[in-house]
Amino acid sequence: MARAKTVSKCITETVEESHMFSITGYSQKRGMGVNRGVEVHASSDLRLLDHTTGLSTSVTKTLPKASAYLRDDRLDIECVVTVMKEPRVSQTKSSPKVAVPPSDIAAHLGKLLESKEAAHVTFYVGEDTFAEHKVVHAMRSPVFKAELFGPMREAGAQVLPIKDMQPDVFKALLHFIYTDSLSIIDDLVGDDRGEMIRHLLMAADRYAMERLKLICESDLCENLNVQTVAATLALADQHHCASLRDACIEFMSSSSMDDIVATQGFVDLKTNCPSVLVDAFVNMSMLNKR
């Protein structure tokens, strides 16, 4: 963000006056003077009046005896005093600012998702259909881009079936594709939310949507529990989520293994992914030795 710039001014005002001082009988007073120090915010200029030209000249050296400045043994001195007034500082003024609203592209794309205006392709998910925009999907996912615009696409195809995904999961995926948020599932809590996040993580991995995958990983890491940790560990291993895998192992090392072993998720993990379970026990043993 650019730094704000401000402007102000300091104006020094001066008042200048001159005084003509005549010394009569200069020859008798030459060399006499009084030295008194006075502190004043001013500058002065002593000038001698040239009786020949009528002009005054600043004093820069000792006045000679014979001089154009003397007439009839009279010396005229013009003293010009310039007094500096208190500086007048102008009020500080800020540079003009223009209020820039936050980005609203997500809101516009969300409206495009709802309106289905100018949709190019229809997705079939189970019994549901979704009319969408190919370019938006291609922009957000390299997998969708290959399916919709790549050499493997069917010529002229406007229908694309989505297998092995529930319609409500695909709907949440669409919402993220268009708006970059998961606000559509804000109403889900507990196990329902956890189940939706797990399905979205699988969808994110399937369509190479790394940001969505990391969001799901983070959510699952923050909501691990005894009932779901084993199943989540299997999910993390299957979809190469290293941070989620480490979080599961750390959670298991600090929890009651009897409770975890009693869950169906642990049974499935032991049956389908024994190597993952062995690796988890090795890592847990290392954590407990620290």
* pLDDT by residue, tens only, the chain of 290 residues: 556 566 566 666 666 667 666 655 555 555 544 444 434 455 666 676 676 777 777 765 555 555 676 777 776 777 777 777 777 777 777 778 888 999 999 999 999 999 888 888 999 999 999 999 999 999 999 999 998 888 756 655 578 899 999 999 999 999 999 999 999 999 999 999 999 999 999 999 999 999 999 999 999 999 999 999 999 999 999 999 999 999 999 999 888 888 998 999 999 988 988 888 888 888 877 776 66
Percentages (nearest 5) of helix, strand, coil residues in the chain? 45, 20, 35
* Rounded Cα distance, 82 and 85, in Å: 10
CATH architecture of the domain 226-289 equals Alpha Horseshoe (1.25)
At residue 40, the pLDDT reads 44
| Axis-axis angle for helices 105-115, 167-179 (nearest 10) | 140
Q: Where are the domains of the chain?
A: 226-289
CA pseudo-torsion sign 68, 73, 74, 77: positive
At residue 10, the pLDDT reads 63
Q: Are 134 and 120 in contact (CB under 8 A)?
A: yes
At residue 39, the pLDDT reads 46
* Rounded Cα distance, 192 and 170, in Å: 15
* Rounded Cα distance, 37 and 97, in Å: 52
At residue 176, the pLDDT reads 97
* Rounded Cα distance, 28 and 125, in Å: 120
- Which residues, 6 or more positions from 132, have their beta carbon under 8 angstroms from its beta carbon? 113, 116, 119, 120, 121, 122, 123, 174
Q: Are 43 and 82 in contact (CB under 8 A)?
A: yes
At residue 119, the pLDDT reads 87
At residue 209, the pLDDT reads 97
* Rounded Cα distance, 135 and 138, in Å: 5
At residue 256, the pLDDT reads 86
Identify which of 150, 142, 140, 118 has the alpha carbon closest to the alpha carbon of residue 131: 118
Structure tokens at 192: 């329902």
Q: For the chain, what is the total number of helices (H) and then of strands (E)?
A: 12, 12
Q: How far is CA 109 from CA 100, 153, 177, in A?
A: 20, 25, 9
At residue 65, the pLDDT reads 52
At residue 37, the pLDDT reads 43
Identify which of 214, 236, 213, 212 has the alpha carbon closest to the alpha carbon of residue 224: 236
